[in-house]
């Protein structure tokens, strides 16, 4: 079991290294269904694992000149403040028991995993679609003039809420946004996405301090393996067709999302 968890943790890092996202899509189900951690605590652990791993990947991208720091700050301001406020102020207010519909009990854990499954389905569709059509749209020729700040703000807040409530970095939303709204190349979008995910996740995790009992030995072990995975992912990404890998990963995530949705509804 421990070897399986470590292997899957490495896969989290590989996905971040190859496509600049998808780490939290794997992390939360691994922690909930294989390790047996409560979903709310799993979202907290996911923030740290994905945040630390993304930070290492972002540093590597920065060394290669693939990060737009100003873009990360501009886009990240809304999402970072949203995720911190969500983890610090809103998540602690969520009651364990939310409602009862007949014999069906709606709990915070159930709602968390159902929403996460829906997020996985949306991510999978986006990855499959983008993986099938590499040149669907070209970035704007003058990104500074083309940016719509209201839309940028909306995306920042939306990603902040997803990260805050579900521990999801939102890389599958970030990358197309950075390419289409900000005019970044794919390599720049992946690197900048990793930096934004790192800031969102780690700052969101600080909002959990004092709310959860953290098993640091376990958390650091999983994080170390995921960090090793991101280096492997970077190596794979430079030598393979990332569009095909992204599409394959999308189908995998789609099946996982369907399984979680069915499992949680029938188990509840």
CA-based Rg of the chain, rounded to a whole angstrom?
18
| pTM of the predicted structure, to 2 decimals | 0.76
Predicted confidence at residue 57, as pLDDT, reads 85
Going by the DSSP 8-state scheme, the letter that residue 91 receives in this structure is G
Q: What is the pLDDT of residue 220?
A: 94
Give residue limits of the domains in the chain.
Answer: 2-267
Structure token pair of residue 53: 């791993």
pLDDT value at residue 143: 47
Element of type H or E holding 112: helix 108-132
Beta bridge partners of 104: 101
Per residue of the chain (268 residues), what is the pLDDT tens digit? 678 888 888 888 887 777 666 676 788 888 988 889 988 898 889 889 988 988 988 898 898 888 988 888 877 788 888 888 888 888 888 888 888 877 777 888 888 888 888 888 887 887 787 655 544 444 444 444 445 667 777 878 888 888 888 777 667 677 777 877 777 887 888 888 889 888 888 888 888 887 788 899 999 999 999 999 888 877 777 777 767 777 777 788 888 889 888 888 777 5
Helix (H) / strand (E) containing 224: helix 216-239
DSSP assigned state of 100: E
| Confidence (pLDDT) at 136 | 44
């Amino acid at each position: 079991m421990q070897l399986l968890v470590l292997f899957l943790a490495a896969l989290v890092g590989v996905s971040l290294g190859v496509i600049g996202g998808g780490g939290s899509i794997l992390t939360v189900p691994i922690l909930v269904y294989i390790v047996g951690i409560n979903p709310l605590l799993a979202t907290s652990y996911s923030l740290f694992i994905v945040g630390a791993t993304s930070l290492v990947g972002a540093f590597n991208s920065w060394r290669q000149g693939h990060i737009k720091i100003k873009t990360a700050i501009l886009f990240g301001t809304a999402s970072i403040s949203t995720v911190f406020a969500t983890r610090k102020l809103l998540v602690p207010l969520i009651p364990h028991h939310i409602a009862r519909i007949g014999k069906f009990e709606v709990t915070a854990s159930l709602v968390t995993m159902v929403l996460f499954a829906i997020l996985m389905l949306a991510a999978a569709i986006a990855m499959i679609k983008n993986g099938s059509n590499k040149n669907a749209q070209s970035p704007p020729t003058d990104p500074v003039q083309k940016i719509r700040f209201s839309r940028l703000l909306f995306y920042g807040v939306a990603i902040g809420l997803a990260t805050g409530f579900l521990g999801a970095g939102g890389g599958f939303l970030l990358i197309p946004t950075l390419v289409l709204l900000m005019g970044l190349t794919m390599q720049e979008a992946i690197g900048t996405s990793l930096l934004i995910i790192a800031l969102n996740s780690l700052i969101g995790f600080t909002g959990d301090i004092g709310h959860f009992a953290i098993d640091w030995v376990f958390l650091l072990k999983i994080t170390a393996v995921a960090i090793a995975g991101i280096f492997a992912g970077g190596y794979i990404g430079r030598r393979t067709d990332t569009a095909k890998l992204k599409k394959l990963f999308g189908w995998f995530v789609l099946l996982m999302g369907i399984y979680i949705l069915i499992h949680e509804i029938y188990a509840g």
